[in-house]
Amino acid sequence: MVYYIYDGSFEGLLTAIYEAYYRRETPEKILSSDNVQNSLFIKYVHINTDQEKAQRVYDAIVQKISPSAAKNVLYAFLSEAQDAGTAIYRYLKLGWKMGKSVDSALAEPHVFRVHALRKKVSQEAGKMLGLVRFRLLKSGVYYAPIEPDFNILGIIAPHFKKRMPNQDWIIHDVKRKLAAFYSQGQYAIVPFEFKGALPLDDEEFDYQTLWKEYFQNIAIKSRINPRLQRQFMPVRYWKYLIETPGTQAKS
């Protein structure tokens, strides 16, 4: 049995798929280097990431399968699920055989798995578009910390670029220590760590209070339904909100 190990980057995964094809090997699994457990009976092959090879695989996905397959693959990768690499590899292998109709072959477990991962990731990204909360800092920058389950920063950043082109903003994935910095039409996603209190703008407190009060008042008392609220907005997303959900249910 052969396992391919890549460095955890998207390009790394695509390189691994490239190598599997040209070495005429069928690795049992393709894993990211951070979830490898050593076993005696398995041969581990470490793959060196190569931009050029990755690009060739990417182009082959777009041209020989479909652009939406490329999206499926990228989103499934961003899920950071342990089996994502393997599922993507099998999905693509089938895809190069079937062409764009691979996305209809949902009875195939790997196709279904990739679709399921894609859906999870795009759902969280969609939810995050609403749940990001900016705080206006003294410096005039809008800062928003988030802690999403999946690595969706790259998916949501273009949305805010289009929406708020004239304000400088930072979206900070605290868990992954990544941040998207935006200023004047361009953004960059870079490793970023920050600890300590933020100097907020003087106006900021007032608007936060207004929002909190509004949030309290918009609920209809005779319909209070904390279960439904948590179903749409799981508690793990509450940490960086301005408003405080669930307070009326207690009283």
Partner 1 sequence: MDLHTKLKILGAAAKYDVSCSSSGSSRRNRPGGLGNASLPGICHSWSDDGRCISLLKVLFTNCCAFNCLYCVNRATADVPRATFTPDEVAQLTINFYKRNYIEGLFLSSAVYKNPNYTMELLIATVKKLRKEYQFNGYIHLKAIPGADPLLIAEAGKYVDRMSVNIELPSSQGLQLLAPQKDRDSIIRPMGFIHSKILQAREERKLYKNAPLFVPAGQTTQLIVGATPDNDLKILKLSESLYKRFSLKRVYYSAYVPVTQHPNLPAIASPPLMREHRLYQADWLLRFYGFKADELLDETQPLLDTEIDPKSAWALKNLHLFPVEVNRADYEMLIRVPGIGVRSARRIIAARRYSSIDFETLKRFGVVLKRARHFITCRGKFYGERNINESTLYQLLKPASTQQKGISPASKQLTFSSLYPHVFQPEDVYTVITGEM
Please list every residue from 56 through 75 that binds partner 1, using CB under 8 A: 58, 62, 67-68, 70-71, 74
What is the sign of the dihedral through the CA atoms of 45, 50, 52 and 57? positive
Given a contact cutoff of 8 angstroms between Cβ atoms, the answer to whether 187 and 157 are in contact is yes
Binding flag, residue 236, partner 1 (CB under 8 A): no
Q: Smallest distance from the beta carbon of 23 to partner 1, in angstroms?
A: 26
| Beta carbon of residue 39, minimum distance to partner 1 (angstroms, whole number) | 29
Instruction: Out of 25, 210, 235, 239, point to the residue binding partner 1 (CB under 8 A).
Output: 210
Judged by CB under 8 A, the residue of 167, 174, 178, 200 near partner 1 is 167
Q: In angstroms, rounded to a whole number, what is the distance separating the alpha carbons of residues 148 and 157? A: 14
Of 28-57, which residues contact partner 1 (CB under 8 A)?
none
The reply to whether 224 sits near partner 1 by the rule CB under 8 A is yes
Report if residue 226 touches partner 1, rule: CB under 8 A. yes
Q: Name the residue nearer to partner 1 (CB basis): 8 or 126.
A: 126
Q: What token pair was written down for 213?
A: 């009060």
Q: Smallest distance, Å, CB 45 to partner 1?
A: 26
For partner 1, which stretch binds (CB under 8 A), given 25-33, 83-91, 153-161, 190-198? Answer: 153-161
Residues 107-146, interacting with partner 1 (CB under 8 A): 107, 112, 119, 122-123, 125-127, 129-136, 142, 144
- Of 36 and 131, which has the nearer Cβ to partner 1? 131
Q: Please give the residues from 86 up to 105 whose contact with partner 1 meets the rule CB under 8 A.
A: 101, 103-105
> How far, in Å, CA of 244 to CA of 238, rounded?
8
Q: Which residue, 44 or 215, is less far from partner 1 as judged by CB?
A: 215
CB of 146 to partner 1, least distance (A): 11
Number of residues this chain uses to bind partner 1 (CB under 8 A): 73
Output 26 or 68, the one with its CB closest to partner 1. Answer: 68
Least distance to partner 1, CB of residue 134, Å: 5
Burial class (CB in 10 A: 0-12, 13-18, 19+), 179: buried
By the rule CB under 8 A, 199 interacts with partner 1: no
